[in-house]
């Protein structure tokens, strides 16, 4: 049996930048310590929320190294190492596992738009050549490429493929995936507004944007479900639904990074082509943050 890399709420953590655009490691340390102190069950570094698409190779590997060293085994660290170039995904994955990560988050190849056979071959090729557990990241709204339940069923048999982050928003498809896959294939919600529904189907937790600003909340939603207390999980999910939605009122991670700055974190700017929200949306975001007591 494959033991899940983590259960509960893993944070898809931002990458803070300095004013001149460099990775801000002191600020990242502060954010990591805040997450660990407030209930986060795992750190997911260099994912979409971490603006991995605009990190250089050196920044990517150094951010992973810094995170592993800072976390120092207190909770699992999962590194985003996917690419639309299978060979590069392998190179980055091998470097990350040498650093000592607990898991590899591998997004489906973007832009190329691989077939289901291509996806199977891509993930099998990678899984055959790593010794660290893989979580497949399925987010077709960004990649134009979707892993189907039947493909998951085939991939779930591989000893190094441990699960999937499902950000399709399609609960019917997610239910079919869980029904077809091995019991030890862990499915995580990739959408904060679907933590409870996916976990009610057998999901193991969430890889969360919300956790950046409300780690204890995301943890509690997931932990309640894991403990079989779906009534508490449901109530929390609905109570914080507006906050979840606010984190996606613009392209991720634009809102969450702006929200963290409102909270006093030194999150820094976004890297182009991403840019801050306009004044109207910023005011709407601030109003939601005030409603939930995250800013005064």
Which CATH class name applies to 8-240?
A: alpha beta
pLDDT tens for each residue of 38-96 = 999 999 999 999 999 999 999 999 999 999 999 999 999 999 999 999 999 999 999 99
Sign of the dihedral through C-alpha 67, 107, 194, 265: positive
Burial 22-38 (b: 16+ CB within 10 A, else e): ebbeebbeebbebbbee
pLDDT above 90 (res 1): no
pLDDT band (50, 70, 90) for residue 182: confident
**Catalytic-residue membership of 291:** no
Provide, rounded to the nearest whole percent, the portion of the chain with pLDDT above 90.
99
The one catalytic residue in 120, 152, 162, 165 is 165
- Of 222, 217, 158, residue with least CA distance to 188: 222
- Of 156, 195, 136, residue with least CA distance to 2: 156
The one catalytic residue in 137, 152, 188, 240 is 137
**Catalytic-residue membership of 137:** yes
Q: Kindly report the average pLDDT of the chain as a whole number.
A: 97
Supply 36's token pair. Answer: 């660990």
The pLDDT value recorded for residue 224 is: 98
For the chain, give every domain's residue range: 8-240
pLDDT above 90 (res 144): yes
């Amino acid at each position: 049996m494959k033991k899940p890399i983590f259960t509960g709420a893993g944070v898809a953590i931002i990458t803070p930048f300095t004013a001149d655009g460099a990775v801000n490691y002191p600020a990242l340390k502060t954010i990591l310590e805040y997450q660990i102190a407030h209930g986060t069950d795992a750190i997911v570094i260099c994912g979409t929320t971490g603006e991995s698409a605009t990190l250089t190779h050196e920044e990517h590997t150094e951010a992973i190294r810094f995170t592993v060293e800072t976390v120092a085994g207190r909770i699992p660290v999962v590194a985003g190492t996917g690419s639309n170039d299978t060979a590069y995904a392998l190179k980055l994955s091998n470097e990350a596992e040498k650093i000592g990560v607990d898991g590899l988050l591998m997004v489906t190849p973007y832009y190329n738009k691989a077939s289901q056979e291509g996806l199977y071959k891509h993930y099998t090729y990678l899984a055959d050549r790593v010794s660290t557990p893989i979580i497949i990241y399925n987010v077709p709204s960004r990649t134009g490429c979707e892993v189907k339940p039947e493909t998951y069923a085939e991939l779930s048999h591989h000893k190094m493929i441990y699960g999937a982050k499902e950000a399709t928003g399609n609960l019917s498809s997610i239910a079919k995936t869980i029904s077809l896959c091995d019991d030890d294939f862990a499915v995580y919600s990739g959408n904060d507004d679907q933590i409870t529904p996916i976990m009610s189907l057998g999901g193991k937790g969430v890889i969360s944007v919300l956790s950046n600003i409300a780690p204890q909340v995301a943890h509690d939603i997931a932990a309640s479900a894991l403990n079989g207390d779906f009534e508490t999980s449901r109530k929390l999910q609905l109570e914080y639904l507006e906050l979840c939605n606010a984190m996606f009122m613009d392209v991720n991670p634009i809102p969450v990074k702006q929200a963290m700055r409102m909270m006093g974190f030194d999150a820094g700017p976004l890297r182009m082509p991403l840019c801050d929200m306009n004044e109207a949306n910023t005011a709407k975001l601030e109003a939601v943050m005030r409603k939930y007591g995250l800013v005064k």
